[in-house]
Amino acid sequence: LNASANVEEESLIIENENILNQYNRFPLIIDPSGKHIDSLIHNKEDIKVTSFLDESFMKQLESALRFGTKLLVLDVEYYDPILNSVLNKEVQRTGGRSLVRLGKQDIDLSPSFVLYLCTSNPDISKSLTPDLQSRVTLINYTVTASSLHEQCLSSLIKSQSPDVEQQRVDTLKLQGEYKRRLRDLESSLLHELNSAKGKILEQDSLLLCLENLKSEANTITTKAKENRNARKSIEKA
Q: What pLDDT, in 10s, does the model give residues 126-158? A: 778 878 888 888 888 876 555 555 555 555 555
Regarding predicted confidence, which is higher, 21 or 108?
108
- Least confident residue range of 110-114, 170-174, 233-237: 233-237
Helix or strand or coil: residue 140? strand
List, for residues 76-92, the tens digit of each pLDDT value. 988 998 999 999 888 99
Where does the pLDDT of residue 8 fall: very low under 50, low under 70, confident under 90, or very high at 90 and above?
very low
Where does the pLDDT of residue 9 fall: very low under 50, low under 70, confident under 90, or very high at 90 and above?
very low
In the prediction, which pLDDT does 222 show? 78
In the prediction, which pLDDT does 95 show? 86
DSSP structural state of residue 26: P
In the prediction, which pLDDT does 160 show? 61
In the prediction, which pLDDT does 4 show? 35
What does the DSSP assignment read for 68-119? Answer: T-EEEEE-GGG--GGGHHHHTT-EEEETTEEEEEETTEEEE--TT-EEEEEE
In the prediction, which pLDDT does 10 show? 57
Regarding predicted confidence, which is higher, 210 or 11?
210
CA separation, residue 152 to residues 7, 47, 55, 73, 169 (Å) = 9, 34, 44, 33, 14
Where does the pLDDT of residue 34 fall: very low under 50, low under 70, confident under 90, or very high at 90 and above?
confident
Mean pLDDT of the chain: 78
Regarding predicted confidence, which is higher, 23 or 6?
23
Nearest-angstrom CA–CA distance, 79 and 75: 7
